[in-house]
Structure 1
């Protein structure tokens, strides 16, 4: 019943079209699903991933046109890593980002890996991380029709960075309940201690890096911020056992939620960060051919009868 790795990260954007341009045309990710927020279908929910949108490769965005800028701080998902195949790939990306006038911090080392920190157009905090030498959870496969190099392309999500004032409270959930393992620490960019935890097979696609900061106010979520991180569970029966485990440990949760492309449960750890456990299947080919993922607006069955009303509200996205 173990947690297998990172499933997806969901962030916030102000303008869907600009977001699509950045993540597909500059970063070369595939739009694997163009759908809506199932809890508020007046807004887009965009999914980017590898060639098939495999679990562990999905970076998703909610579009909220009136949203203000994120105010970075504590109790937050403070950076999202994107995996690339090799150290050499980071040189390609350093040149590509520079050519597009995207500010970055240059290639560095972080917990024994080469990384390239940068921000998107809305100050979303991102880190390209090399998969070279990875012996844990395997990455995905860059899309053959990518706007970027398929040889050096993004193949999934890497370590997720959290920033919290209270490590022990976080550990009461991720270690004592979710059974993550503490495997080391290093010094962060602001001289803070960063504690590293792994799940499942470990490796680049199955780590959480926790920055301990007692000097920050709480983050105010906006565009350029991350709403939640989801972790992989094998199937629906495993998810239901995890729901029972959360209940037995007194952790409040959403109960079972059917997201059509996967099944989920949502809950917050004591610092207030929103976590999700999500099943690996059934996947994004449930309602679209794999060769045409993300090309048209996809709706879950319970919203299909409202398609005309939903499409009138949404601005068309051009690929």
Structure 2
């Protein structure tokens, strides 16, 4: 039984709340929904002043950030590749990806892609604090998501046994599925 109704918000850390709001507003059109600032953490009662901002990511989704001026500098897990942890946002189509990449370049922001994942194409870039962001446009052909759903349990079982790349979804990058943006 799934008791969840969705993700209420996802929260990350930032070093400058205003800069973060400005970046997400200017690059992705996200509006500031609200800000909360207190001297104590409500859940732990620890004395730690913070600014907690909430941004509208569209369709009822919320992205939040904490600025923590009294905490040590932000760091990254040195054992996790920096491409792993990221925030992915859905966009309308591949044309939106291409236009956004051009707009980012005009703002001096480097973006990688579009990268073809078979069921979606995406671009990648970073916010001012180094968080990796992804914009993804669905391009799946009819039936592909059903095929992926059907093989997922078997893939997890095989991965669990072998810890080697599982090839059940290799069809995504085979020639017959190349260029899905033209059919989507």
Give TM-score scaled by structure 2 length. Answer: 0.68
Residue in structure 1 matching 2:173, options 278, 298, 301: 301
The answer for unaligned runs of 5 or more in structure 2 is 42-47, 156-167, 176-184
Equivalent in the alignment of 1:209:
64
Equivalent in the alignment of 1:176:
26
Once the 2 structures are TM-superposed, how far is the Cα of residue 255 of structure 1 from its aligned partner?
Answer: 2.8
In structure 2, the residue corresponding to 1:175 is in which secondary structure?
helix
String of CA shifts for 1:34-93, please: whole Å, max 9, x gaps.
xxxxxxxxxxxxxxxxxxxxxxxxxxxxxxxxxxxxxxxxxxxxxxxxxxxxxxxxxxxx
Higher relative contact order (CA 8 A, sep 6+): 1
Residue in structure 1 matching 2:76, options 220, 236, 249: 220
Mapped pair 1:229 → 2:87: yes
Give TM-score scaled by structure 1 length. Answer: 0.42
Once the 2 structures are TM-superposed, how far is the Cα of residue 179 of structure 1 from its aligned partner?
Answer: 0.9
> Which structure's residues are more often strand, by fraction?
1
In structure 2, the residue corresponding to 1:282 is in which secondary structure?
coil
Count of aligned pairs:
149
CA distance 1:157–1:293, shift in 2 (3 Å): farther
| Runs of 4+, deviation exceeding 3 Å | 154-158
The answer for unaligned runs of 5 or more in structure 1 is 1-148, 304-319
8 Å contact from structure 2 (residues 118, 139) kept in 1: no
Once the 2 structures are TM-superposed, how far is the Cα of residue 275 of structure 1 from its aligned partner?
Answer: 0.5
Residue in structure 1 matching 2:13, options 159, 163, 179: 163
Once the 2 structures are TM-superposed, how far is the Cα of residue 284 of structure 1 from its aligned partner?
Answer: 9.7
Q: How does 1:1-319 map to 2 (within 5 A)?
A: 149-150=1-2, 152=3, 154-187=4-37, 189=41, 190-201=48-59, 203=60, 206-214=61-69, 215-221=71-77, 222=79, 227-282=85-140, 285-286=143-144, 288-289=146-147, 292-294=150-152, 295-296=154-155, 297-299=168-170, 300-301=172-173
String of CA shifts for 1:6-52, please: whole Å, max 9, x gaps.
xxxxxxxxxxxxxxxxxxxxxxxxxxxxxxxxxxxxxxxxxxxxxxx
Separation (CA, whole Å) in 2 of partners of 1:291 and 1:183: 35
Q: CA RMSD in A?
A: 2.8
8 Å contact from structure 1 (residues 287, 298) kept in 2: no
Separation (CA, whole Å) in 2 of partners of 1:290 and 1:250: 37
